[in-house]
């Protein structure tokens, strides 16, 4: 579902030429105008989720969602470190009860206490839950503490789930519907067709004793399939997919003014800003008289790119609802529009090739300074350097005039950051763990 808001602003003044700028903004169904959201969720803390899955997901740069039974969790320092890297540590209750067999008061205790314990141990909000045995809790209780909860009905949700407190997932492994790499691939393609939200439920991996084990090489191939296809699939946490879809449905755009040089707009929603602050991706057509564009929200430059999709050229940009006025302005630096290249569905992963380890982008954060360097290229001297945090929020964005180097003072909280250096269709990316 693409929501299109058509806004027309007409201004006229005596003595000035009358100008009428028609502009239409679209909110992406999924972050970055990707076709589907994909969440890998892991239950019960089975051993190989840490020893085998985590390295696969870390090297791909994909976050995992770990639904944790607080009574069973043994290594909170590992979970905390993973949360700081951008993985989601979420609730799977205190003692893994069947919610169909306990009282309302017991349900309340399980749901409230697991949240409190996780927040204390991890130091971040715990916003989502997965029902043990996929048996729902009472809506009136689950909705007091969480923004969404996972069940396992076995289908791929549409872009808006039927019930945020029973989001469907597909069980992976020998007792589930997804047993092989081919099954993973079919699920991805179906999710893209319906612009949907695909959630996998994983327990055991290889022989760690967990329920319905999946062979690690099948899991690994599914991850390697997605790596070159990230312009198509948004591999994200259960929390982020929930936030994005709710914000996208609640957002309202108001055009404040429009002329040949810039558009000024507001994006608002009625959701609680302390929780719902995931950036939404918007786009409008790049006017033919604009060489490129810069986008600011609340006077800070935000992530934007000029991208060609089919024959149209768009300005795509990330903004947070209720976080200040947005200005999309003409920029006279000409850029070549980016074109996302996505391998065809049938092109298989080459398992002989490991994930790329060569990083052309070098990033060093030391003594409060961030130094970024990239291969010198004499034909490009204007670069944009962008640093996102693990939630996709922009923490730094600069236009740089240099052919291979950027340095600036940088004070940031611990965690995972994503660095991008780009110019037109050329982009370098690297991760930074502080
Ligand atoms: Zn469980």
Q: Are 179 and 171 in contact (CB under 8 A)?
A: no
Q: Are 243 and 93 in contact (CB under 8 A)?
A: no
Report the alpha-carbon distance of residue 343 to residue 188 in Å, rounded.
14
- C-alpha 107 to ligand 1 mean position (Å): 15
Tokens linked to 331:
């920029």
Tokens linked to 65:
């969602």
pLDDT at 56 > cutoff 80: yes
- C-alpha 92 to ligand 1 mean position (Å): 7
pLDDT (tens digit per residue) in 291-306: 999 999 999 999 999 9
Q: How confident is the model at residue 414 (pLDDT cuts 50, 70, 90)?
A: confident
Better-predicted residue by pLDDT, 395 or 382: 395
- C-alpha 148 to ligand 1 mean position (Å): 17
Q: How confident is the model at residue 367 (pLDDT cuts 50, 70, 90)?
A: confident
Q: Are 251 and 269 in contact (CB under 8 A)?
A: yes
Q: Give ∠ CA 431-375-340 in degrees, rounded to 5.
A: 65
- C-alpha 380 to ligand 1 mean position (Å): 52
- C-alpha 68 to ligand 1 mean position (Å): 8
Residue 320 CB neighbours (<10 A): 23
pLDDT at 118 > cutoff 60: yes
Residue 294 CB neighbours (<10 A): 19
Most confident of 1-10, 20-29, 304-313: 304-313
pLDDT (tens digit per residue) in 62-78: 999 999 999 999 899 99
pLDDT at 263 > cutoff 90: yes
C-alpha closest to that of 230 among 30, 4, 372, 374: 30
pLDDT at 15 > cutoff 70: no
- Tell me, what's the pLDDT at 364? 83
Percentage of the chain beyond pLDDT 70 is 91
- C-alpha 333 to ligand 1 mean position (Å): 54
- C-alpha 320 to ligand 1 mean position (Å): 34
CA atoms within 13 Å, Cβ hemisphere of 227: 21
- C-alpha 271 to ligand 1 mean position (Å): 30
pLDDT at 124 > cutoff 70: yes
Hey, which residues does 419 pair with through a beta bridge?
387, 430
C-alpha closest to that of 380 among 337, 315, 419, 335: 335
- C-alpha 220 to ligand 1 mean position (Å): 22
Report the alpha-carbon distance of residue 381 to residue 405 in Å, rounded.
10
CA atoms within 13 Å, Cβ hemisphere of 235: 23
C-alpha closest to that of 212 among 167, 152, 165: 152
Q: How confident is the model at residue 231 (pLDDT cuts 50, 70, 90)?
A: very high
- C-alpha 90 to ligand 1 mean position (Å): 12
Q: Are 45 and 56 in contact (CB under 8 A)?
A: no
Residue 255 CB neighbours (<10 A): 19
pLDDT at 343 > cutoff 80: yes
Please spell the DSSP secondary structure of 63-79, one letter per residue: --EEEE-TTT---HHHH
- C-alpha 159 to ligand 1 mean position (Å): 26
- Tell me, what's the pLDDT at 424? 65
- C-alpha 59 to ligand 1 mean position (Å): 26
- C-alpha 119 to ligand 1 mean position (Å): 20
User: Looking at residues 12-28, what average pLDDT do you find?
Assistant: 63
Q: Which domains does the chain have, with CATH numbers?
A: 3-8+19-31+251-331 (2.60.40), 35-229 (3.20.20.370), 362-433 (2.60.40.3080)
- Tell me, what's the pLDDT at 369? 86
Sheet bearing 304-309, strands edge to edge: 3-11, 19-27, 280-285, 312-319, 304-309
**In this structure, what are the phi and psi dihedrals at residue 82, rounded to the nearest 5 degrees?**
-65, -40
Residues within 5 Å of ion ligand 1, judged at the Cβ atom: 43-44, 132
- C-alpha 130 to ligand 1 mean position (Å): 8
Report the alpha-carbon distance of residue 142 to residue 165 in Å, rounded.
7
Please spell the DSSP secondary structure of 340-377, one letter per residue: -----TTPPP-TTSPPP---SSEEEEETTEEEEE----
Better-predicted residue by pLDDT, 418 or 9: 418
- Tell me, what's the pLDDT at 8? 40
C-alpha closest to that of 60 among 76, 40, 75: 40
- Averaged pLDDT of the chain: 90
C-alpha closest to that of 67 among 4, 132, 116: 132
- C-alpha 420 to ligand 1 mean position (Å): 38
Q: What's the farthest any 2 CA atoms get from each other in the chain?
A: 80
The residues, ordered by sequence, that sit 6+ positions from 262 with a Cβ below 8 Å of its Cβ are 327, 328, 329, 330
- C-alpha 203 to ligand 1 mean position (Å): 8
C-alpha closest to that of 397 among 263, 389, 293, 388: 388
Tokens linked to 340:
């996302």
Report the alpha-carbon distance of residue 319 to residue 171 in Å, rounded.
34
pLDDT at 221 > cutoff 90: yes
- C-alpha 49 to ligand 1 mean position (Å): 13
User: Looking at residues 261-273, what average pLDDT do you find?
Assistant: 97
């Amino acid at each position: 579902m693409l929501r299109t808001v058509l806004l027309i602003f007409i201004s006229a003044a005596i003595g000035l030429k009358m100008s009428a700028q028609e502009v239409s903004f679209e909110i992406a169904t999924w972050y970055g105008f990707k076709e589907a959201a994909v969440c890998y969720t892991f239950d019960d803390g089975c051993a190989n989720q840490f020893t085998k899955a985590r390295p696969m997901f870390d090297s791909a740069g994909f976050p995992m969602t770990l639904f944790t039974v607080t009574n069973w969790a043994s290594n909170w320092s590992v979970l905390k470190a993973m949360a700081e890297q951008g993985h989601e540590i979420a609730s799977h209750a205190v003692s893994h009860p069947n919610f169909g067999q306990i009282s309302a008061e017991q349900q309340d205790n399980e749901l409230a206490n697991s949240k409190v314990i996780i927040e204390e141990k991890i130091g971040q909000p715990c916003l989502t839950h997965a029902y043990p045995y996929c048996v729902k809790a009472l809506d009136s209780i689950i909705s007091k503490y969480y923004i969404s909860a996972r069940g396992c009905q076995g289908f791929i949700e549409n872009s808006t789930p039927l019930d945020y407190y029973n989001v469907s997932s597909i069980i992976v492994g020998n007792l589930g519907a997804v047993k092989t790499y081919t099954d993973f691939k079919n699920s991805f393609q179906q999710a893209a067709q319906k612009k949907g939200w695909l959630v996998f439920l994983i327990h055991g991996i290889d022989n760690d004793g967990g329920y319905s084990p999946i062979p690690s090489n099948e899991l690994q191939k599914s991850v390697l399939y997605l790596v070159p296809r990230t312009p198509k699939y948004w591999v994200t946490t259960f929390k982020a997919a929930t936030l994005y879809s709710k914000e996208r449905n609640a957002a309202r755009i108001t055009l404040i003014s429009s002329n040949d040089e810039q558009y000024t707009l507001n994006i608002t929603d009625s959701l609680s800003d302390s929780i719902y602050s995931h950036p939404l991706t918007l786009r409008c057509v790049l006017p033919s008289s604009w060489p490129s564009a810069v986008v600011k929200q609340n006077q800070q430059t935000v992530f934007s790119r000029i991208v060609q999709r089919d024959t149209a050229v768009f300005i795509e940009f990330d903004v947070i609802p209720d976080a200040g006025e947005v200005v999309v302005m003409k920029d006279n630096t000409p850029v070549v529009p980016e074109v996302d290249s996505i391998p065809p569905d049938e092109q298989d992963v080459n398992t002989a090739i490991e994930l790329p380890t060569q990083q052309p982008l070098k990033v060093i954060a030391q003594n409060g300074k961030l130094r970024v360097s990239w291969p010198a290229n004499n034909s490009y001297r204007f670069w944009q350097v962008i640093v996102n945090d693990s939630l996709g929020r922009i923490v730094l964005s600069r236009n740089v005039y240099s052919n291979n180097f950027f340095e600036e003072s940088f004070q940031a909280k611990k965690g995972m950051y994503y660095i991008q250096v780009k110019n037109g269709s050329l982009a370098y990316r690297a991760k930074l763990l502080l």
